Structures are given as structure tokens and as C-alpha cells.
Amino acid sequence: MKNVVTFGEILLRLTTPGYQTIKQSQSFDGVFGGGEANVAMALAQYGFNVNFVSKVPKHALGRSAMQFLNYYGVKTDYVVYDEQRLGLYFLEKGYSIRPTRVIYDREQSSFACSKIDDYDFDTIFENVDWFHLGGITPALSEELFEISLAALEIAQKKGVKTSCDLNYRKSLWSFKSARAKMSMLMKNIDVCFGIEPLELPTHDDQDYKDICEKPFSEEMIKKIMSKLKEMYQFTEIVHTFRREKSVNENEISAIVLDDQGFLKSKTVDVQIVDRVGTGDAFAAGMIYGLLQFDSMQKTIDFATASFALKHTIEGDANILDLSDILHFMNADHPLSIIR
């Protein structure tokens, strides 16, 4: 069994019923989630031994969040407790031509107040195969950026494979700051999900991506991925595609670049129940495939199946079993009733 560690913040997500807007709703449905927690839960469903590292308040909300993770098979052995608060976010799901909206309320949360002495990564990374974090964690404070940097350096020294989902959030930090800080983290990253906001300088101190025609074509994205892989020495760099027919109907696929070249997944049409956390499901699928499969094509197809199926699940995390993902990939008639 593979051992994986993820590091990030778990939040209480408060969602309006159905497709109500926040302005009209009189109640909210609560569920716990957050990027690295979502990856942890998915990988636990796929059979890995997963530890989620974080900091939460030691009152009922913090303990409930940990019980939620434990219920889905995620260990919380290295979670730190304090007297602060649990971060929140509010979600109204879009419909048709009205987009989904998110409002964060996470300032001064327990995790955002993390200190570098809270986490003993030398101990945490003993006998670990993989370490994953996302671009939201280093955005929350200067201290968390330094913690992320230190954790990645320790992981690399211990021979732990590392990955990062860049997932830039403009509500958390400026693009300029994100580009500088995330680029610094990449020296210790093996597998990168996404292409922005990384620095890709030209000879005249511009960023190559800034001078390319927008929106990027698939061929341009491949060219950017090739340059980023060479510059940062990633073992793999991965990018997902999404064509939005409406808020509730998308066409999705993905490509991966490794030392052998590019491979593309199948394209999947999805009707969307809940789009939040789909990128985390994709990241979990790639991590699983890279650790378990000897075929990169099978890996990118598995990740895309995980990505696609999460769109059909309410809540932040893909809590489907490994058998569900493999059935969708391999069955002759995957949409038929399973009896």
C-alpha cells in the first residue's frame, strides 16, 4: 500500500439548497472540503494510506472536520489543534448561463495562523511515497509559504515524490505575487498540474505566456508545457481542458507531458451536479496512476475518469471507489445500471 501525505486547509463549505442564490437562500447545507483534503479523500477511496496534515480549532467544528476525514479513510495523525477558528466558504451553484460563485471567510483561521514549528516534516515524511499540496496553501500567509517551501525541501531530501496543483485564486493574492512565489516552490516539485502562474521569462524579461495570443490554443499550451518542463525539470506536467457548453454541461479532457512526449486522454461529456473539487479529483487520479500503473496512457485516462465522475458527486470530494473509476474506464457499456 502506498503512503501519501497532503498538506492544506480543510474548510466548512456552506451551500445554498438547489440552485438558489446566496441572496435568496434562508438556509445552507454544510459539508467539509478543501483542495488537499479532497485529494486525500479520493486517494483513500482508491486504497492508499493517506495522512492529511493541517491545523484546526479544538472545538466541535474542528473535531467534526477530522471525523469527516476519518470516515472516508484519511488519517489525521499530524493535525495540530489551537484556539482559533475553522475557515468557511459559501457556495451558490450556477445554472445554465449563471456561473457558480464562491465567497471565502477564512481570514485568521487556525490553518492560516500556522507556524513553522507546528509541523515536524522530518517525522511526517518517514516511509512516505508522495507529498501533495496546492497553490492555495502558500497564498494564505507568508509563514505558510515558508512552511510549504521547507516541507518540499525535506520531502525531496527524503526521496519523496512531490506534486503541486497551481490553482491560482485571485481573491487570495495578486497574480504578480503568486507568479513569483509559486515559481520559487517549483524547484522541489516533480509533477506540476497547470501552467499558470509560473514564471516563463524571455530574453527581454517578459513572460512568454504574456506575449502569446489569447486564448491559448492546444498547440500553444503544449509549447508552454514543454518550456515549463525544461525550465523547472518536472518529471511530468499535466493540463486539463474544459469546453463549457453551458454551466451545467462541459466537455473535458487532459494531456500529460513526460520524458517520452505528450499523451492525451479521451474526451468526456459531463452533465454537472457539482463542479467544485473536480481538479482535485483529477490530481488524485494522476497521483494514483503514477504510483500504480506502468502505462502513462492508462494513467491519464484514469485521472480523466476520476475528474469526470466527480462532476456527478455532491460535495467537495470524489468519494467514489476505485472500482467505480475502473468500471467507467473499462466497461463496454459504462452507463448501464450496475446490478
Q: Is 335 part of a structural domain of the chain?
A: no
Q: Are 285 and 279 in contact (CB under 8 A)?
A: no
Write the CB contacts of 213 (distance below 8 Å, at least 6 apart in sequence). 220
CATH (domain of 221):
3.40.1190.20
Q: How many CB atoms lie under 10 A from the CB of residue 317?
A: 28
What is the per-residue pLDDT for 333?
Answer: 74
Q: How many CB atoms lie under 10 A from the CB of residue 71?
A: 10
What is the per-residue pLDDT for 332?
Answer: 74
What percent of the chain lies above the pLDDT cut of 70?
99
**How confident is the model over 1-59, as pLDDT tens digits?**
899 999 999 999 999 999 999 999 999 999 999 999 999 999 999 999 999 999 999 99
What residues form DSSP beta bridges with 109? 85
Q: What are phi and psi of 242, to 5 degrees?
A: -140, 115
How many distinct structural domains can be found in the chain?
1
Alpha helices in the chain (DSSP H): 35-45, 60-71, 121-124, 142-157, 175-185, 208-211, 218-232, 278-292, 296-310, 322-330
Q: Are 5 and 163 in contact (CB under 8 A)?
A: no
229 vs 190: CA distance, rounded Å: 10
Mean pLDDT to the nearest integer, 274-278: 97
The chain-wide mean pLDDT, for the chain, equals 96
Q: Is 286 part of a structural domain of the chain?
A: yes
Q: Is 337 part of a structural domain of the chain?
A: no
Q: Is the pLDDT of residue 339 over 80?
A: no
103 vs 88: CA distance, rounded Å: 9
Grid coordinates standing for 210? 504574456
In terms of residue numbers, what domain contains 96?
A: 3-330
What percent of the chain lies above the pLDDT cut of 90?
94
Q: Is 338 part of a structural domain of the chain?
A: no
**How confident is the model over 115-167, as pLDDT tens digits?**
999 999 999 999 999 999 999 999 999 999 999 999 999 999 999 999 999 99
Q: Is 244 part of a structural domain of the chain?
A: yes
Mean pLDDT to the nearest integer, 184-189: 97
Q: Is the pLDDT of residue 329 over 90?
A: yes
130 vs 123: CA distance, rounded Å: 14
Q: Is 339 part of a structural domain of the chain?
A: no
- Per residue, the 3-state secondary structure of 100-152, as one string, reads CEEEEECCCECCCCCCHHHCCHHHHCCCCCEEEEECCHHHCCHHHHHHHHHHH
Measured between its terminal Cα atoms, the distance across the chain in Å is 29
Q: Is 169 part of a structural domain of the chain?
A: yes
Q: Is 336 part of a structural domain of the chain?
A: no
